[in-house]
Structure 1
Amino acid sequence: EGEGGQTQQLPVNTPVFFQNPDGSYLEGVPPGYKERTPPRSPRLPDVNGWFDELDAPTLGEEFLFIYTRHEKLFLSLLLMELLIEVTFNAMYVYYRNYTVREVAIIYHGVLSLQTLWTIFWVMFAIESAYEVAFYATGFWAVISDRPSAYQWFSQIALFGILGQVVLAYMNKFNLLIFFFRLMAYIYAKFLRNLRQSLALLGPAQPNGNGANQLQFDL
């Protein structure tokens, strides 16, 4: 209630946006609502006519095309990184004696050889478990096509980026893996924002989800 005990009414011609638990957005509009035409930019006189010809469905299709292309590139990045990590892990296990001896020289008199072998296998097990979570979440993000999935993946990727610094103490820091995880982290953040923008446009949705638009009465 406002001043004097009068009840204030919400504007009936204003859309309302809701965020679902999975991170996607839902737009609620009153019956008969139409989006306002954005003002023309005096700096882009030649482009204004092209934007005027684009309605919401057409713009949604353009965003969908861009999103699917980047999604395929993201999937290719994951597959390439998976192949590289499997190769490096195989080499890491194959040359494990050389790795442990090299670390023993660095920490001579501080850690015993048995302790170094224990640390080696523990860190290898942790790294392997992380890689399973990393790629499972990445492929799940592509399949589920949800902003929250990309958010989860970006957090796991960030954890792996920081974890590479810890692995440097066991002579396992890999600049190539570090670069790929950093690229995956940036790409996941980009796809999450692009997917949220695509959800706001409505009709053109990947995987046949349909429009994210809801009508309501005030």
Structure 2
Amino acid sequence: QGPIFVQNPDGTITEGVPAGLAGPPKPHRGRALGLGLGAAGDADSSSSRAASEPPAVSLQEEVDYMYTCHERIMLLLLLAQLSFEALYVLEYVLRIKDGTSAVELTAMYARLNPHPTLVTTILWGILTLEVVYGAVYYALAGQALWTKRSSSFKALANAGVVGIVGLALLAYVDKFNLIIFFAHLLSYLYARLHEDAAALRTGSCRG
């Protein structure tokens, strides 16, 4: 049985609902509004979290940019170091040929009274070791800068440690050079930095 419409004496019409007939439940406006606000809040929070999280592409670009800048600095450092060592070797050879190095080394170990020929032979042997080490060191440096692998920079850093120790030992034959020593030290630090950066870059690419 549906609702009944009754006309009042003044002409207006009124709806009459029989007993036992319940109309459709009206939605609770406050609850609906709350649900709407909750959904909107969740959407806003999700969008804000998405905006705050850096995309993987941006992180990869930052890593590549940092790596490229440090790579150029290391290349310039190695070129400067190579120039210093070339001048050092040239002076080393000239001082051996004119006998200055032998005289100075003999004066350092005057108590041992070394023979000049023996002193000259020792100096030439040390120079040969330096040249061989330099060839290996710069070959490793070229390989590291070319391949950009973490293992290559690790090998370069280990070779740098050998060079630093060797330069310190040259003080016993009066051939220590402070500029080359600090250049090797900086190259070692940059090799370690590139080792970590290359590992991070590889991890970012894989991710």
Whether these two folds match at TM > 0.5 is yes
**5+ residue gaps, structure 1:** 1-47, 203-211, 214-218
Q: Tell me what 1:92 maps to.
A: 92
What does 1:45-60 correspond to in 2, within 5 Å?
Answer: 52=52, 54-60=54-60
Q: Tell me what 2:174 maps to.
A: 171
Q: RCO higher in 1 or 2 (8 Å CA, sep ≥ 6)? A: 1
**5+ residue gaps, structure 2:** 1-47
**1:92 Cα deviation from its structure 2 partner:** 1.2
Q: Tell me what 1:66 maps to.
A: 66
Q: Tell me what 2:190 maps to.
A: 187
Which of the two has higher C-alpha Rg? Answer: 2
1:62 alignment partner AA: E
1:35-60 deviation line (CA, Å, top 9, x unaligned):
xxxxxxxxxxxxx98x8252111100
CA contact (8 A) 1:57 1:201 kept: no
Distance 1:154 1:127 in 2: 17
2:79 alignment partner AA: L
**1:95 Cα deviation from its structure 2 partner:** 1.6
Q: Tell me what 2:133 maps to.
A: 130
1:92-115 deviation line (CA, Å, top 9, x unaligned):
111221111011111125121111
What does 1:31-50 correspond to in 2, within 5 Å?
Answer: none
Q: Tell me what 2:76 maps to.
A: 76
Q: Tell me what 1:23 maps to.
A: none
SS in 1 for 2:175: coil
SS in 1 for 2:126: helix
Q: Tell me what 2:164 maps to.
A: 161
Distance 2:57 2:204 in 1: 8
Distance 2:116 2:94 in 1: 18
Task: Report the structure, 1 or 2, having the larger helix content.
Answer: 2
Q: Tell me what 1:148 maps to.
A: 151
1:59 alignment partner AA: L
- The alignment's TM-score, normalised by the length of structure 2, stands at 0.72
Q: Tell me what 2:34 maps to.
A: none
> In the alignment, does 2:194 pair up with 1:197?
no
> In the alignment, does 2:106 pair up with 1:114?
no
SS in 2 for 1:95: helix
2:63 alignment partner AA: F
